[in-house]
Copies of this chain bind each other. A is one copy, B any other.
Amino acid sequence: MKHRFPSITLGLPEWMDDSVPHGGVTLTSADARMEFVIMLSKRNVEEGTGGPFGAAIFERDSGRLIAPGVNRVVPASCSVAHAEMMAIMVAQQVLGVFDLGGEGLPACELVTTTEPCAMCLGAIPWSGVRRLVCGARKEDAEAHGFDEGDRVVRWVDALAGRGIDVIQDVRREEAAEVLRQYNAMGGLMYNGRLGDG
């Protein structure tokens, strides 16, 4: 039976399979994990498969990759499909859980090339991750034309109060450079409402 309202299907780009070695990825330092997601953000722009943002869910302690994510807003016709949201949703599908912090699971962390916008920040406590690792800052995103939305000012403290540690400025300049290049080449600024009124 055809349903009146469509399902939503969100997938990672075709090239993701050959960006992740067979046998998986294990990266033990925050620096190496950030290098990996910056590579994803660059490739997403080069391949024309979305905006200049990459993210991933790793097991915090072992460094095993659970799920990568890249921005898919324009190709998926979905304003929710930020890199962090994709990584969270794919990781939850991989593990078959709505809570990455549930009983019996290894602690998970979210690594993202740019500090999360208001939506992604709000999604983090519900996802179950225990640590957030960020590259570029909000100021970098804004300097290159992106809108991070209305976040609580003391968001690092707010996450800490929920048992979620935050590490900032990992490979910050390199992460910000991807944003600068996207802006300089005239990449579509898809945040917010484009119509008048």
Contact of A126 among B98, B104, B191 (CB under 8 A): B191
| Copies of the polypeptide in the assembly | 2
Could you say which residues of chain B place their CB within 8 Å of the CB of A103? 194-196
A122-B118 contact, Cβ under 8 Å, with A97-B77, A196-B103: yes
Check B190 against A99 for contact (C-beta < 8 Å).
yes
Q: Is A187 an interface residue (CB 8 A)?
A: no
Q: Is A74 an interface residue (CB 8 A)?
A: yes
Q: How large is the interface on A (under 10, 10 to 19, 20 to 34, 35 or more residues)?
A: 35 or more
Contact of A79 among B68, B86, B128 (CB under 8 A): B128
A8-B10 contact, Cβ under 8 Å, with A92-B77, A122-B117, A163-B193: yes
Could you say which residues of chain B place their CB within 8 Å of the CB of A4? 16-17, 20
Q: Is A176 an interface residue (CB 8 A)?
A: no
Q: Quick one: CB contact mask for A1-12 with B, threshold 8 Å, 1 for yes? A: 101111111111
Check A102 against B11 for contact (C-beta < 8 Å).
no
Contact of A17 among B3, B9, B122 (CB under 8 A): B3
Interface of A toward B, CB cutoff 8 Å: 1, 3-12, 16-17, 20, 67-68, 73-74, 76-80, 85-86, 88-90, 92-94, 96-105, 107, 117-123, 125-128, 130, 147, 149-152, 155, 158, 162-163, 190-197
Q: Which 5 A-B pairs have the closest CB atoms?
A: A118-B122, A119-B122, A101-B193, A7-B11, A79-B126
